[in-house]
Amino acid sequence: MSERRLADLLTMWRIRAFEEKVRDLRAEGPIVGSVHLCVGQEAIPAGACDVLEPQDALFATYRGHGWALARGVPAEPLFAELMGRATGVNGGRGGSAYFTAAEYGFHGENSIVGAGAPIACGAALAGRFDGSNRAAVTVFGDGAMNQGAVHEAMNFAAAFALPVLFICENNRYSELTPIRDMVRAPRLADRAAAYGMPGHRIDGNDAEAVRFHVRDALEVAREGGGPTLLECMTERLVGHYIGDAETYRQPGELDRIGRREPIVRLREGLLADGVPASAVDAVEGAARAEMERAATSALAAPPADPATAREHLYA
């Protein structure tokens, strides 16, 4: 039991350490442009990706570095991508908000809010015809629940009982605006009923809870039971993007959410269960060391070659 939780901790620390390194590299210069970190939300990819099968398709958002890592994309080509290196996972074409690595079952980030949801329906639909038993997972934020494409996708998946899992990462803000001011019914999971699919609001800061619900939903989906909506309650500990002044935060908010963030919580749980602090802390050390190494070798790689900028446009 504690072994699996230590594995969750490692996944989460790898994501956290990656994101913190990205933040530093953005401040120091090698990374340019807009970057959205998932610090505080690590338990959702950690729990979900643990129970995805290799044939499953995963569609994330611009806040998707953690999803790429948890799905198994190595850190070095991700760092390299962020720094515009030839060795980047997309050779510099994608950038922070638009990674893709289909060979790892990571079908991409997306920087258009809600766009991944209909695409996930198609990936699931293809599975009907290709014998893969594929399920498709689409991840989006609370704000994306108000985007037309997401409504259409939910009905489409439900009407055809497609094996799609809709994961809503409810971090309570859409950019600078609280979601509570943008909806009348704040329990977003309740919308699932209107489409005729199950919907659950779950603790998104608990990888174990995420794993449990994702496994369950995927089982139903693969058996022809159709889609599920999981509203994973979480909080980002950082700005919407690097540079966000976060003036929308309430006094004391960051302290409050810092106490229930997933890594702190899991660490306390492990210690309470008698796991020695040295074992728990070794996880952080290993993750940070891995990310330092990965960032260093990514930095040493050559920049993307401008002569290739026009390649890959057509078949």
Which parts of this chain interact with another protein (CB under 8 A)? 31-34, 81, 84-85, 88, 91-98, 110-115, 143-144, 146-149, 174-177, 181-183, 247-248, 303-304, 306-310, 313
CA 204 from chain centre, in angstroms, equals 11
The verdict on 41 binding Mg ion (CB under 5 A) reads no
Q: How are beta strands 228-233 and 164-170 bridged, if at all?
A: parallel
24's tokens: 């530093």
To another protein, the closest distance from the beta carbon of 174 in angstroms equals 6
111 scored as a contact of ligand TPP (CB under 6 A)? yes
> Could you give the CA distance from residue 145 to residue 259 in angstroms, rounded to a whole number?
27
Does position 228 bind ligand TPP by CB under 6 A? no
User: How many residues lie near ligand TPP (CB under 6 A)?
Assistant: 15
63 makes contact, choosing from ligand TPP, Mg ion, another protein, none, with CB < 5 to 8 Å by partner type, with ligand TPP
| Interface mask toward ligand TPP for 248-287; x: CB under 6 A | ----------------------------------------
- What residues numbered 177-216 form the site for ligand TPP, per CB under 6 A? none
What are the residues facing 137 on neighbouring strands? 58, 165
Nearest residue to 168 via CA among 239, 83, 231, 93: 231
d(CA 179, CA 246): 15
Task: Please tell me whether residue 11 binds ligand TPP under the rule CB under 6 A.
Answer: no
62 contacts 110 by C-beta, under 8 angstroms: yes
Locate all alpha helices (DSSP H) within 197-252, ordered by sequence.
207-220
Among ligand TPP, another protein, Mg ion, none, the one that 148 touches (CB under a kind-dependent 5 to 8 A) is another protein
Q: Residues 11, 96, 171, 234: which binds ligand TPP (CB under 6 A)?
A: 171
**CA separation for the pair 214, 167 (Å, rounded):** 9
Stretch that binds Mg ion, among 51-59, 133-141, 218-226, 244-252 (CB under 5 A): 133-141
29 vs 274 by CB, closer to another protein: 29
| Rounded-to-integer distance, Cα 120 and Cα 30, Å | 33
